[in-house]
Amino acid sequence: MPLKIKNVDYFDGEKLILKGNIYIKDGIIVGLGKKEKEQPFPTDKEIDGENCLALPGLVNCHTHAGMVYTRGFADDKPLMTWLEDYIWPLEAKLTPDDIYWGSLLAIAEMLASGTTTFTDMYFAMDRVGDAVLESGIRAVLTWGLIGVQENAIANLDKTVDFATNWRGKGNGRITTMLAPHAPYTCPPEFMEEVLERAKRHNLPIHTHLAETKDEIKQIEKDYGKTPIKWALDVGIFEHRTVAAHCVHLKDEDINILAENNVGVAYNPQSNMKLASGIAPITKLIEKGVKVGFGTDGPGSNNSLDMFAELKMGSLLQKVAGENSQNLPAEQVVKMSTSVGAEILGLGSEIGNLQKGKKADIILLNLDKPHLTPLFDPLAHVVYSCRGSDVQTTIVDGKILYDRGEFYTLDVEKIKWEVRERTRHLTK
């Protein structure tokens, strides 16, 4: 269904274009700019971009969508109480169907707040895949692996099957990675097995690293090194890796991440809410590390709104570094679009509004009191917009959300299912 967005201001990933047109065909941006006034082909639909800013869709580099069931379930608790007494017992009861419905709910929230690609680490990932296929969103799916549990290798092989079978589905909207959970749950011999399969099947690795001080202590005690050095030594950095958190880093850790081209997912709200710490993002970027944004799961945030993440993430770097110039608006927008896409291995497909790229596009309606006046649209994106300012979300050339309407999801049914299932899970 050919589509035209007309008369729209847009940020193409490098520069701001005023009053241009964007043409989409077969899911691809086939033409755009101020000069593209001639209709290159008949379009089924025109979207009037008046008062809107178009951006590449936001890329969430780390979340656990199925954790919607734990949103607001146990806040303001010490981390281990939260995990051991609340989160893990509830998660142990989740069925694949629960995860399917929970993921649909999370996807609805993400589409309505401008996320077009999310990176998910959870379990029953084939059911998450079903939710991704039905909804039309783009996703990087990773099946979390605990190396210390029984049948760890059998599980690993099962997730390799998932990853190889599911990648490319949905017109390429689904890609996959292997996801060993963390250094404290995956021993080195297990990591070697993961790495062997990652290389054999050309699957990148997604993992948690250096999230809390407790983890640093534990890995120091068990292995006499930092989690980053541990990951280097087990060999996974030979392979493309996306590491979530990276909160507690020594200078040498930062050098290791930079030298090995490890992508980092920055999750400021989760790190703040769980009191994990403040990731040295400004320093990581100075050293050349590529950093994208993640929301982490809705249990520890408690939101999947990337706009809140962007503002919080930028402001946190400013105050922590005592420098109001840290993580300026344009850099934040790039981190949450093109840089995020790049660390997920999708840099050639999405992350920019350029001819030939896949049409993952969001429109923000800027005609609102809280976005008036308008000097620099990118400053508004980071410092003034909320997820609710998203008017339209397009993934792979298809409109999935527009002015409160979901085109592929029955959101009333989804909310009902999640509420009913929550009742069962917590009774």
**How far is residue 286 from each of residues 254, 281, 313, 337, 364, measured CA to CA in Å?**
10, 8, 16, 19, 30
Residue 250 C-beta: closest distance to a copy of itself, Å: 19
Give the distance, in angstroms, between the CA of residue 282 and the centroid of all CA atoms in the same chain: 19
Taking the complex as a whole, the smallest distance from the CB of residue 324 to a copy of itself amounts, in Å, to 4
The SS3 assignment for 177 reads strand
Residue 273 sits in the site that holds a copy of itself (CB under 8 A): yes
Of 137-145, 234-242, 275-283, 335-343, the window that binds a copy of itself (rule: CB under 8 A) is 275-283
Closest distance of CB 174 from a copy of itself, Å: 21
* 160 CB-near residues (< 8 Å, 6+ apart): 178, 197, 201, 203
Stretch that binds a copy of itself, among 56-64, 233-241, 334-342, 384-392 (CB under 8 A): 384-392
Which of 38/76 has CB closer to a copy of itself?
76
For residues 77 and 167, which CB has a smaller minimum distance to a copy of itself in the complex? 77
| CA 123/CA 328 separation, integer angstroms | 36
SS3 357: coil
Is residue 242 within 8 A of residue 206, CB to CB? The reply is yes
- Residue 78, interface with a copy of itself (CB under 8 A)? yes
The whole-angstrom distance between residue 24's C-alpha and the CA centroid of its chain comes to: 24
Number of residues that bind a copy of itself (CB under 8 A): 69
Residue number with CB closer to a copy of itself (83 or 133): 83
**305 binds a copy of itself, rule: CB under 8 A:** yes
Helix %, strand %, coil % of the chain (to 5): 45, 25, 35
Mask: binding to a copy of itself, 203-222, rule CB under 8 A, as x and -? --------------------
Stretch that binds a copy of itself, among 150-158, 182-190, 218-226, 300-308 (CB under 8 A): 300-308
Binding flag, residue 411, a copy of itself (CB under 8 A): yes
User: What residues contact 407, with CB distance under 8 A and at least 6 apart?
Assistant: 136, 398, 399, 400, 401
Q: If we measure between CA atoms, which residue out of 32, 13, 30 comes closest to residue 22?
A: 32
DSSP string computed for 62-76: EE-GGGGGGTTTS-S
Position 276 contacts a copy of itself (CB under 8 A): yes
Nearer to a copy of itself, 193 or 296 (CB): 296
Long-range CB pairs of 412-420 (<8 Å, 24+ gap) are 414/101, 414/104, 414/105, 414/108, 415/105, 417/101, 417/104, 418/68, 418/69, 418/101, 418/102, 418/105
410 lies in the site for a copy of itself, by CB under 8 A: no
375 sits near a copy of itself (criterion: CB under 8 A):
yes
The least CB distance from residue 292 to a copy of itself, in Å, is 20
Q: Could you tell me which residues come within 8 angstroms of residue 423 by beta carbon, excluding any fewer than 6 positions away?
A: none
Q: Considering only residues 201, 250, 283, 386, which one is a binding residue for a copy of itself as defined by CB under 8 A?
A: 386
- Binding residues for a copy of itself (CB under 8 A): 68-69, 71-73, 75-79, 82, 105-106, 108-109, 112-113, 269, 271-278, 301-305, 308, 311-312, 315-316, 318-319, 321-326, 328-329, 367, 369-370, 372-376, 379-380, 383-384, 386-389, 411, 414-415, 418-419, 422, 426
